[in-house]
Copies of this chain bind each other. A is one copy, B any other.
Amino acid sequence: MSKIVTSKNGTKKDVIIKKAASLFRKKGFKGTSMRELAENIGVEASSLYNHIGSKSELLQHICFKVANDFMLQLHETEKSEISTTQKLEKLIRFHIHMMMDGYDEVFVANHEWKQLEEPFLSNFLTQRKLYESRMIELVKKGIQQKEFKNIHPHVAVFTILSAVRGLELWQRHKKNVSIKEIETNMINHLLYGIAKQ
C-alpha cells in the first residue's frame, strides 16, 4: 500500500513503536496482532520486519525506555543540591508529567511488563525494585533530617506510587477536571500531608 509516514526527526521504527504503545495500551500486548498493528500504520504485517526484529522487541523497547527515563530522573534528583522535601516533590511531579505526556508508554510499562520474556523480565523487575528502594532511602533521609513526620517509609513510598499510578484513571476525565487542578491537589495530599509543619 502506501508508505510509512515519518514525522520529522523520527525514523520508521519510532512510528511503529509509537503505534504499538497505543495499541498495546488499548488492547494489551497479547491482544494486539502484528497484522492489526500493520493495518493501523497502513502496511502489510511482513513489511514491519524491515524495521523491527520481532514483536517482543517492541514491548522491550517500550518498557525499558520508560524504566530508563525514571531511573535517569531519580539519579539526577538524588545528586541535585536541594532539600529532601524538594527532591520528593520533584520526583512526584516527574511521575505526573510522564503519565500525562507518555501515557501509552507508561501504561504499557506498568501493565504489560509481565509479557516480557527472560532475561528482560528479570531485568525489568530488578530495576523496579531498585527504584523503589532508592525512593524509600530518600524518605528515610527526610525523616532523619526531621523534614518528614515519623512515618513508615515503605508505606509512604507505596502510597505515593499508588496515587500517581492512579492518574491513569483520570485519562477518561481530562475535560471535566484540569491537569493543573489534579496536580496541585495530589502534591498537597501526598507531600505536604507528610511533611512536618
Given contacts A31-B30, A152-B177, A154-B177, contact A166 B170 (CB under 8 A): no
For A135-172 the 0/1 string (1 means CB < 8 A from B) is: 00000000000000001101100110111011101100
| A14, B115: Cα distance in complex, Å | 27
A173 at interface by CB-CB < 8 Å: yes
| A181, B159: Cα distance in complex, Å | 13
| Chain A interface SS verdict (over half) | helix
The reply to whether B114 and A189 form a contact with Cβ atoms under 8 Å apart is no
| A51, B115: Cα distance in complex, Å | 29
Given contacts A28-B115, A30-B31, A193-B193, contact A163 B163 (CB under 8 A): yes
Shortest distance between the CB of A192 and any CB in chain B (Å): 11
Shortest distance between the CB of A37 and any CB in chain B (Å): 15
A26 at interface by CB-CB < 8 Å: yes
Neighbour of A28 across the interface among B114, B165, B167, B186, CB < 8 A: B114
The reply to whether B154 and A158 form a contact with Cβ atoms under 8 Å apart is no
CB neighbours (8 Å) of A154 from chain B are: 173, 176-177
Given contacts A28-B114, A28-B115, A115-B31, contact A186 B159 (CB under 8 A): yes
Instruction: Beyond A28-B30, A152-B185, list 17 extra A-B contacts (CB 8 Å).
Output: A26-B114, A30-B30, A111-B111, A151-B185, A154-B176, A155-B177, A155-B181, A159-B163, A159-B189, A161-B166, A161-B169, A162-B163, A162-B167, A163-B166, A165-B165, A165-B166, A166-B166
21 contacts between A and B (CB under 8 A): A26-B114, A27-B114, A28-B30, A28-B114, A28-B115, A30-B30, A30-B31, A152-B185, A154-B173, A154-B176, A154-B177, A155-B181, A155-B185, A158-B169, A158-B170, A159-B163, A159-B186, A162-B163, A162-B166, A162-B167, A166-B166
